Amino acid sequence: MNTRKFIERIGEKTIDAIEEVGYHFSLLVESFYWLLVGPFVKQPVRLRNIFSEMMKIGVLAIPVVILLSFSNGVMMAIQGIVTLQEFDAESQVVPGIAYSVTREFGVLITAIVVAGRSGSAIAARIGSMQMSQEIDALRVMGIEPVRHLVAPIIFSMLVMMPILTIMADSAALIGGGLYTGIVLKLSLGTFIDRCFDVLVVYDVMQGLYKSLIFGVLIALVACSNGFSVSGGAEGLGKATTRSVVISIAMIVMADMIFTYFLSR
């Protein structure tokens, strides 16, 4: 009896999960539809909305992203030098930092910051609009909620995530460079020069591709959790938490898969 219930529950959860993925996908398709086709059917995605999302998602996240990435760069330099000293190879710390920052940690930190800052805010905003029937109000005015709310978010993510990632990369390299400079008596200029010696466009692009995917993931998870809010303030809180947890989990797992295919 109990095992049957258990298996049933697993089955239900699986179906729920598949449905959710399907819903994410349809949100994505719809958003692109409105971004591309909207202007021709008198349902354009408004620049006003796009700019305000860019501001919230991107510009306001810059200080945190830079602070965290800078710290991360310093940490990597500390750990790298300590580890490499054992092999008398501490000068190899430069390529080590350069690769892992551009391919991996710049974008990862950016994505986690954006998921925490914007993912939760988006889920809360759409969720409270759902609760107060603002979404219904949009619909009955003949305004497609996905076009009005989701499409600008997706678009802004696609623009801002790469920009934030480049800032994060730079901040981390500067952080790593400053620490390395102090410890190994290497000027920041030399450090950066050596970074550029080892880095190829592909390394940086790898981070940027990922940033696009992560941005879309964050947007879709946040929006779908917002739209599915039911059951008052408690439901709203749950949806907000859920969207952050799920998007960070998905980011880390997706990152692992990407790294496997892109970095070997």
Partner 1 sequence: MVVESESTKDESVIDVQDLVTYYGTRKILDQVNLKVRSGEIMVIMGGSGSGKSTLLRHMLALNQPAAGAIRLFGKDPSKLSAPQLHAIRQRMGVSFQNGALFNSLNVEENVAFPLREHTRLDENTIRIMARMKLEVVNLAGFEKLMPSQLSGGMVKRAALARAIVMDPSLLFFDEPSAGLDPVVSADLDELILRLRDAMKVTIVVVTHELDSAFRIADRILVLDKGKVLILGTVDEVKSSDNKRVQNLLNRKSEDVIVNPDEYLQRLTDDLAGL
Nearer residue to partner 1 within complex by CB, 43 or 83: 43
Rounded to the nearest whole angstrom, what is the least distance from the CB of residue 224 to partner 1 in the complex?
Answer: 19
Q: What share of the chain is helix, strand, coil (3-state, %, to 5)?
A: 90, 0, 10
Quick note: the x/- pattern for partner 1 over 31-70, rule CB under 8 A, is ----------xxx---------------------------
143 is a site residue for partner 1 (CB under 8 A): yes
String marking each residue 184-223 x if it binds partner 1 according to CB under 8 A: ----------------------------------------
Binder to partner 1 among 144, 169, 203, 255 (CB under 8 A)? 144
Residue 139 binds partner 1 (CB under 8 A): yes
Closest CB 29 distance from partner 1, rounded Å: 13
Residue closer to partner 1 by CB (options 133, 241) is 133
Task: Using CB under 8 A, count the residues that bind partner 1.
Answer: 17
Q: Return left, alpha or beta for 142; rule: phi > 0 is left, psi -120 to 50 is alpha, else beta.
A: left
232 in contact with partner 1 (CB under 8 A): no
The Cα 208–Cα 135 span in angstroms is 33
Residue 86 tokens, joined: 């054992």
* Identity of the residue, 32 or 209, whose beta carbon is nearer to partner 1 in the bound complex: 32
Question: Following CA atoms 148, 151, 152, 154 in sequence, which dihedral angle do they give, to the nearest 10 degrees?
Answer: 150
3-state secondary structure 141-199: CCCCHHHHHHHHHHHHHHHHHHHHHHHHHHHHHHHHHHHHHHHHCCCHHHHHHHHHHHC
Contact track, partner 1, 87-126, x by CB under 8 A: --------------------------------------x-
Report how far residue 32's alpha carbon sits from residue 153's, in angstroms, rounded to the nearest whole number. 11
Amino acid type, 168: A
**Binding site residues, partner 1, CB under 8 A:** 41-43, 125, 128-129, 132-134, 136-137, 139-144
